[in-house]
Amino acid sequence: MMGYFLNPNTLKIDEIPLRPQATGEQRATTPPRSIAPTSVAAPKERAAISGTGLAMMGLIRTQALHAALDAVVEDADPWDLVAALLLALGGRNVTVQTPERAPYGQMSRQETALATLFPEGVLVRDPALLRQEAVAVLKNVANCTISQHSGSGLTAQLMGLMFDADGQMPNMAFDDFLKCFSKPGIMEAGKTLNLPPRNTGKEMRHAIMAHVGAEGRWVPEQAGFGSAAKDWKVEQAAMVRNAERLASLRGGDEGDDEEEGEFDHLLPVEEELYGTGLEGSDEAETTLSETADAGEAHDPEEQEEDAAELKDALLEQAAEALTSDVADADARAAVKAHLDSHLEVVRIAA
């Protein structure tokens, strides 16, 4: 049987002999245009609340936190303000980068507060003034926005727990926010309000808004400040675990440092071979080659005697290390490799 093909080199039709397939071979072949089965990854599940929804939650939380701080500006416990300032300084946005940055050349709110409280370099001990400036700085620094740079993180939410910012949260049952829920998420939100299931997310959104009403107030659990304490405990536990893991790694490094001194007894041989003024075998080889290039004459018999003495010293130390009862197989192999490198230098020098 002959086959025909286009020769790409000559652009001519050439012939090629073909062997017919046996019956068994034909049954074993894969049918033409067959598609091998492939594993299809499961579709990624959509988050209950989208990124836009999380950003809206952050802005609303920030407004509630600032409103809670304004509510205690006249009678806040000074120690509460001290603790709150510590929380603010522990936020992720310190060194302080805030959403409302002061124009270039203008004093920041922190600088203004310090100038007010320390006009002559001495603290003005006016409780009302202290509360006013402390709250102003807290409002400037602490925020709940979703940002890697200007968001304070959990510390601002803990501050919201301190000053009951949940009581300042507005009604969040409005369409722009509810649209940020996935269908399972909006169904779960309706379930918390004891609403029956709906066929679509849009129907459930309208049902939630109708249930809450224009004068009502609904805040989803994810948007409040209540989960901050639990999340803080989880974060602190993770930090402790990381610290313990790093401490154990440092302990392992110290053990490695002790093992590195196991073959320090071999150093005198290097000093004998290279001299105290040389740093290693590379420098020794360089010195030998430079001496040879300079044309300095050496007595061949003296070179042979020196090489023989060095070989004897190395072999004596090798016999002592390799026949030791204490040394295990790995230690003997390491000593042998170490001494072999010195013998190679001796052969080159000879």
Q: Are residues 338 and 249 in the same domain?
A: no
Domain assignment present for 11: no
| Cα angle 224-228-229, degrees, rounded to a multiple of 5 | 135
Between the CA atoms of 73, 78, 81 and 86, what dihedral angle is there, to the nearest 10 degrees? 160
Of 151, 98, 167, 108, whose CA–CA distance to 133 is shortest?
Answer: 108
Residue 80 has a pLDDT of: 81
Q: Are residues 219 and 271 in the same domain?
A: no
Which range in 81-90, 187-196, 288-297 is most confidently predicted, on average pLDDT? 187-196
Residue 14 has a pLDDT of: 87
Residue 323's domain comprises 262-349
Q: Are residues 87 and 163 in the same domain?
A: yes
Domain assignment present for 46: no
Report the domain count for the chain: 3
In three-state secondary structure terms, 307 is helix
Kindly report the number of other CB atoms within 10 A of residue 14's CB atom: 11
Domain assignment present for 240: yes
Of 301, 303, 281, whose CA–CA distance to 292 is shortest?
Answer: 303
Q: Are residues 67 and 174 in the same domain?
A: yes
pLDDT digits (tens, 9 = 90+) for 266-317: 454 444 444 544 444 444 444 444 444 444 445 555 666 666 676 666 666 6
Q: Are residues 176 and 313 in the same domain?
A: no
Lowest mean pLDDT, pick from 22-36, 131-145, 186-200, 236-250: 22-36
Q: How confident is the model at residue 254 (pLDDT cuts 50, 70, 90)?
A: low
